Chain A
């Protein structure tokens, strides 16, 4: 078998970025939740908020640590595997990524230390301020990285000549057409992810009859937030879709499984797209609905994939199905959130074991939805690395051979498997231990080195053992 360095580099990037993405998508939402808890405790002095905050800070520290370690790899992937793309777009991407480091990474690093270890060493106001700065840092970071990513989908503010991107307008490039939609969609996704994890863990405690007071408070806070955020995400997602329809119609055609350009285009509930024969099998469709959603008119025209040559089309199957997984899960999130809010309003949420069980099952699903969403947008951008400007095959590092790409792909998978299985086992143990019902022993604070994961006072022999074997 011939090893294709382009394909293997794409696999490698997809692997390292997917692996990395699940950590920040959780910490962005969780950082805001912790800041809110700290703020409420500052204002009300209610110890429930303090206990919740202390517990979720422990979880935050582990997940943030894994996000940082996997993030360092990302800073070098662009150069090792996509050097032509990096070199071509450096005039824009270089300053944007550098601004992410100097405005966000240092802010997070600084105030995370104070948040984790400074509770008894700085005034309460400074500690609350630190929690807010960590939350702000996660948003600033996602602002820059989503600006860079959105620009690859909807490039603006630049001229492209002699194979190099040259800036014409920084504001147009940073706030490129898809940036506000992608940023809003992703920020909401982070809140929903954080919300379902906190809600699911709290529901699990309630089912076990543990920490009822703190768990009820946490669950109620999350359910109210989710009941607002999940329907709002439907609206924002729709706007993001319309923006994509305007700028990247072939991505939408792949999402819809639309081959022919037509009016009264149907919405496919099920189909097996067949790229070779340019058709779908086993279609189950609602007539006219795609036209209605995308153009707000039954007679609106929806372009099909046949508009462009086969080499200009994204891979249909993966985009089509990832989109259905994302939307399906989004609908499930709305249903569960509204049902939970309804029960909460009736005062029956804490005594609804079936609903609580459903909430615990939800924990992994937002991560699946987020990754599916990223597959839709990133695979849907193919065959372009910068939409309409540079093809992915033109962006790959020319000196990479198939075996080099394969060796590092296997290498990254192995390293991540060892390191992160240890981390995940550790995280499970923290959650199983739960929030401390009594005040923590005071010497805990001094007997540990001031590192993020050291905020978690447990042994990790189990984690180490499984990682080592």
Chain B
């Protein structure tokens, strides 16, 4: 096993898996966050229909993320979940409510508003909880040996509230640019007007978090301000991408705002990994400390390398089947 570093392969696989989840559930959670602000009930129907065919496939990646972490990096699983105990409950409750809202809203008439609220509330709470997880990861965990020993609300600090709100804004940006891509007419016009403000909010959170993190954590300060000058390419690229997205929104481009927003998320994500590398459970444990036995990593790797391409193929096929604009006519058809 000396020739192949299985742990590194698994960092890449889990990293891609989590990023897939963030992108894919990100835009459909974002649609939920935008829900009450939509210009009309008709627009809400369109918003929900645009994600109805794909959202639960998107959420399956979350289950894979959970099980994959247990398999490849059990320490992350066994520290993050206890440390985020209350946050995980809020995340799951949010996902349950927004999930059933899809099913019930289209069938309920008199009680529709109730499921509108469930969809908005569930999506927002789940997004905030995910953002708080990111903040908690930067913040680090109080561990003794292989166990979390901190308190129930250590994860809830002004910093994690900031990252939580940042992810809510970020998912809303993904949602609004997705709306630009999938709708037309008044709904799209509304999305075009809203998108620059959300982009500004996201960049605002990005700048605050980028300044706050190194000031609060010496480890991060050393990483960014020591000597590796090429790292600064990432913030530079982030600003350039944001400018490009704004320019494309102004030009009323339909696809590039969404693609650009995804690129922004990729850059945030890489920036986060650079900041944290090689720590899986900061401030003490690296990915190699957190890894399971090589035999277990290999046993799962064989299956995953074979099956993930099939799963990706199916996912791509679904998106292809449901390509194009959401129909603006009556009914709830998402195709």
Contact = CB atoms under 8 A, between A and B. Distances in A.
A109 B315 CA distance: 11
Interface string B235-251: 00000000000000000
A93 interface: yes
Contacts of B85: 80, 397, 399-400, 404, 408
B308 A79 contact: no
Interface stretch (A240-248, A279-287, A458-466): A458-466
Nearest to A66: B100
B39 interface: no
B268 interface: no
Nearest to A94: B71
A102 interface: yes
Contacts of A110: 314
A217 interface: no
B149 A103 contact: no
B66 A75 contact: yes
B147 A399 contact: yes
Contacts of B213: none
A447 B333 contact: yes
A422 B97 contact: no
Contacts of B62: 72
Nearest to A86: B78
A393 to B, nearest CB: 15
Interface in B1-55: 48-49, 52-53
A437 to B, nearest CB: 22
Interface in B263-305: 292-293, 295-296, 299-300, 303-304
A404 B97 contact: no
A404 B59 CA distance: 26
Say what secondary structure dominates the interface of chain A. Answer: helix
Contacts of B75: 87
A16 to B, nearest CB: 10
Interface in B147-190: 147-152
A236 interface: no
Contact of A400 (B48, B69, B82): B82
Given A79-B80, A86-B74, A109-B57, A72 B95 contact: yes
A127 B14 CA distance: 34
B82 A79 contact: yes
Interface string A425-469: 000000000000000000000111111111010111101110010
B64 A98 contact: yes
A411 interface: yes
B224 interface: no
A170 interface: yes
Interface in A54-113: 65, 68-69, 71-73, 75-76, 78-80, 83-84, 86-87, 90-95, 97-103, 105-106, 109-110, 113
Interface in B45-97: 48-49, 52-53, 56-57, 59-60, 62-64, 66-72, 74-75, 77-83, 85-86, 88-89, 92-93, 95-97
Nearest to B333: A446
B253 interface: no
Contacts of A261: none
Nearest to A416: B96
Nearest to B297: A95
Q: How large is the interface on A (under 10, 10 to 19, 20 to 34, 35 or more residues)?
A: 35 or more
Nearest to B76: A79
B167 to A, nearest CB: 19
Given A399-B82, A451-B102, A454-B106, A78 B150 contact: no
B71 A399 contact: no
Contacts of A454: 103, 106-107, 332
Contacts of A404: 85-86, 152
A390 interface: no
Nearest to B306: A102
Nearest to A409: B89
B95 to A, nearest CB: 7
Given A83-B79, A450-B53, A451-B52, A78 B308 contact: no
Nearest to A450: B53
Interface stretch (B109-117, B198-206, B215-223, B226-234): B109-117
A448 B71 contact: no
A83 B85 CA distance: 11
Contacts of A95: 71, 296, 299-300
B319 interface: no
B108 interface: yes
A97 B70 contact: yes
Nearest to A68: B56
A401 B152 contact: yes
Contacts of A100: 67
A447 B332 CA distance: 6
A464 B300 CA distance: 43
A415 interface: yes
Interface string A156-198: 0000000000110010000000000000000000000000000
A69 B304 CA distance: 24
Given A79-B77, A408-B86, A453 B300 contact: no
A91 B150 CA distance: 25
A22 to B, nearest CB: 17
B147 A90 contact: no
What are the 9 tightest A-B residue pairs by CB atom distance, in nearest-first order? A94-B71, A79-B81, A90-B74, A464-B111, A87-B78, A453-B103, A449-B52, A94-B70, A95-B300
19 contacts: A76-B88, A83-B77, A83-B78, A83-B147, A86-B74, A86-B78, A102-B64, A106-B311, A399-B149, A399-B152, A447-B333, A449-B49, A449-B52, A449-B334, A450-B334, A460-B104, A460-B107, A461-B110, A464-B114
Interface of A: 65, 68-69, 71-73, 75-76, 78-80, 83-84, 86-87, 90-95, 97-103, 105-106, 109-110, 113, 166-167, 170, 397-401, 404, 407-408, 411-412, 415, 419, 422-423, 446-454, 456, 458-461, 463-465, 468
Given A87-B75, A102-B308, A453-B107, 17 more contacts: A65-B103, A72-B96, A75-B63, A79-B70, A86-B74, A90-B74, A105-B63, A399-B147, A404-B85, A404-B86, A411-B89, A411-B93, A448-B332, A449-B332, A450-B53, A461-B108, A464-B115
